[in-house]
Amino acid sequence: MIKQDFETLLLAIDDDGICTLTINRPEKLNALNNLVLEELDEAFDAINEEYKIRAVVITGAGEKAFVAGADIKELSTLDPASGEKVSKKGQDIFQKIEDMTIPVIAAVNGYALGGGCELALGCHLRIASTNAAMGLPEVSLGLIPGYGGTQRLTQAVGKAKALECIMTGRQIKADEAFEIGLVNQVVDGNPVEEAKAMLQKILKQGPVAIKNAILAVNEAGTEDGFETEAKLFGELCGTADFKEGTTAFLEKRKPNFSGK
């Protein structure tokens, strides 16, 4: 049984194997203090060990915020050495999320600023509510993004737009976030429900193919990207899911994937 008694996270697993992870510090707009970061790290390790979990949705408690950033009270005490260490620690945790081999969707239900925007960027997909406001306002604190935002925002929206957002620190409302490719979808209602609906479609596909798709796309832009794609493609040609998928097509029926 997966651990449930986190202090700052709520974890729920539904019958379809979708785990909803809610960052639960609504009185501080779910700001990421050290405990939240450590519990996120622990939760993703546990999720990796739990075969029943087939996908994850991350969201924030309350109606106002996904995550309003790193905890500024904690940030204010950093010096150069501890700042670099904390930055690296957050980067490693968000990299762990990006490296998950099951889909992870951020359901952005309000403010996703600073570290909150960086957390959303570490997820594979982002679905925002119409009241979402995203952005990297670190320069207003005399800082730059430190949890991967300079890299992932640039990958998501391009260098000029990323630099504009980072240097102005301005908030990006949901519609603009969609237009510039920062989020996949904007919904009027609850983004968690929409994320689950999208996952229902993804989970109908071959699980090993989904895993390899994530692994290959994560290598995009690196020196090994094309080689990785060919290797992962070849690997899939030896799976039962490949046999089932192609046979089902030829027999004009729906595939029944075993995940092997």
Q: So which residues are the catalytic ones? A: 118, 138
Shortest CB 36 distance to ligand CO8, Å: 11
Shortest CB 102 distance to ligand CO8, Å: 26
In the bound state with ligand CO8, the residue whose beta carbon lies nearer, of 6 and 111, is 111
Shortest CB 78 distance to ligand CO8, Å: 6
In the bound state with ligand CO8, the residue whose beta carbon lies nearer, of 87 and 228, is 87
Shortest CB 82 distance to ligand CO8, Å: 8
> With contact defined as beta carbons under 8 Å apart, do 154 and 116 qualify?
no
In the bound state with ligand CO8, the residue whose beta carbon lies nearer, of 143 and 215, is 143
**C-beta atoms surrounding 131 within 10 Å:** 14
Give the residue among 113, 139, 128, 146 at the shortest CA–CA distance from 182: 128
> With contact defined as beta carbons under 8 Å apart, do 17 and 104 qualify?
no
Burial code (b: 16+ CB inside 10 Å, e: under 16) for 138-162 equals: beeeebebbbbbbebbbebbeeebb
CA 69, 71, 73, 77 dihedral sign is negative
- Name the closest residue to ligand CO8 (Cβ): 114
**C-beta atoms surrounding 254 within 10 Å:** 9
Q: Which residue has the tokens 């030829």?
A: 250
In the bound state with ligand CO8, the residue whose beta carbon lies nearer, of 55 and 113, is 113
Shortest CB 142 distance to ligand CO8, Å: 10
Cα–Cα separations (whole angstroms), residue 161 to 119, 137, 148, 177: 19, 14, 16, 11
In the bound state with ligand CO8, the residue whose beta carbon lies nearer, of 39 and 138, is 138
Write out the residues near ligand CO8 by the rule CB under 6 A: 28-29, 31, 68-73, 75, 78, 83, 86-87, 90, 111, 113-115, 137-138, 141, 145-147
